[in-house]
Amino acid sequence: MHNCLNASTISRALSVFLACLIAAPMTAQTPAAPTQINIVILEGEGAINVVRQRAARETMVQVEDQNHKPVAAVAVTFFLPNEGASGVLSNGSRSITVLTDSEGKAALHVVRVNNVHGNMQIRVEASFHGLTKSAVINQTTLLNAGASTGGLISGKLLAILLIGAAGAIAGGLVAANSGGSSSSSSSVAVTTVTPGTPAVGPPK
């Protein structure tokens, strides 16, 4: 009877010990809840959307915690402007909410942009267990692809013309100074007008 009690006690102790060993790794692998979230813009900042192409560039953000580790299942809401350069999202409105994936990423797909040329600011808001964060993504909408480079080419051409004109003027001044007084006198014709007394008489 004494041996049976000892065996039972030892068996229970072993069971408790094994349960603790199994539970310990599971507890260690559970990540701590974030105390802060941040929005990192991965794609879309500075993008140029062309009206004739309709579909805009993909916009993607990543939500990270205070240790720069991705946070999954974060509600991320994208807002397009209500006025000016804007567009329509896949749900037919100007705002949509998506959840971040296992890598903390959330993407926005603009079905089409409107016909307004100018800067388009996309507002982003992230929310997770009472934590919030916001950011702004700046993009540009153009009426056609050539509009993005037309002004730049004209500016460069104007600069080239101005530089060429300045070079020509500088070259003329150098040539004039290097020629000396003798060359200038020989190459420039001087017309002398001598005043006299006009004669008036009857017509012949």
DSSP element (H, E) containing 64:
strand 59-65
- Asked if residue 140 belongs to a domain, the reply is yes
Q: CATH code at 47? A: 2.60.40.10
d(CA 99, CA 109): 14
- Asked if residue 166 belongs to a domain, the reply is no
**What is the domain count for the chain?**
1
Least reliable range by pLDDT among 64-68, 154-158, 193-197? 154-158
- Asked if residue 60 belongs to a domain, the reply is yes
Give the tens place of pLDDT for each residue, 58-81.
899 999 999 999 999 999 999 999
Least reliable range by pLDDT among 28-42, 45-59, 113-127, 139-153? 139-153
pTM higher than 0.75: no
- Asked if residue 105 belongs to a domain, the reply is yes
Average pLDDT on 11-39 reads 70
d(CA 49, CA 81): 15
pLDDT of residue 73: 97
- Asked if residue 13 belongs to a domain, the reply is no
User: How would residue 50 be classed by pLDDT, with cut points 50, 70 and 90?
Assistant: confident
pLDDT of residue 185: 44
- Asked if residue 70 belongs to a domain, the reply is yes
Least reliable range by pLDDT among 84-93, 161-170, 172-181? 172-181
φ, ψ of residue 61 to 5 degrees: the values are -125, 165
pLDDT of residue 84: 95
Residue 121 has pLDDT above 80, yes or no: yes
SS3 content of the chain, % helix, strand, coil (to 5): 35, 30, 35
CA dihedral sign of residues 128, 129, 133, 136? positive
Query: What is the domain extent for residue 56?
Result: 37-148
- Asked if residue 173 belongs to a domain, the reply is no
Residue 35 has pLDDT above 80, yes or no: yes
Least reliable range by pLDDT among 7-11, 71-75, 107-111, 124-128? 7-11
pLDDT of residue 32: 81
- Asked if residue 121 belongs to a domain, the reply is yes
- Cα–Cα distances (Å) from 60 to 83, 101, 106, 110, in that order, read 22, 12, 6, 12
Calculate what percentage of the chain has a pLDDT beyond 90: 44
d(CA 46, CA 93): 23
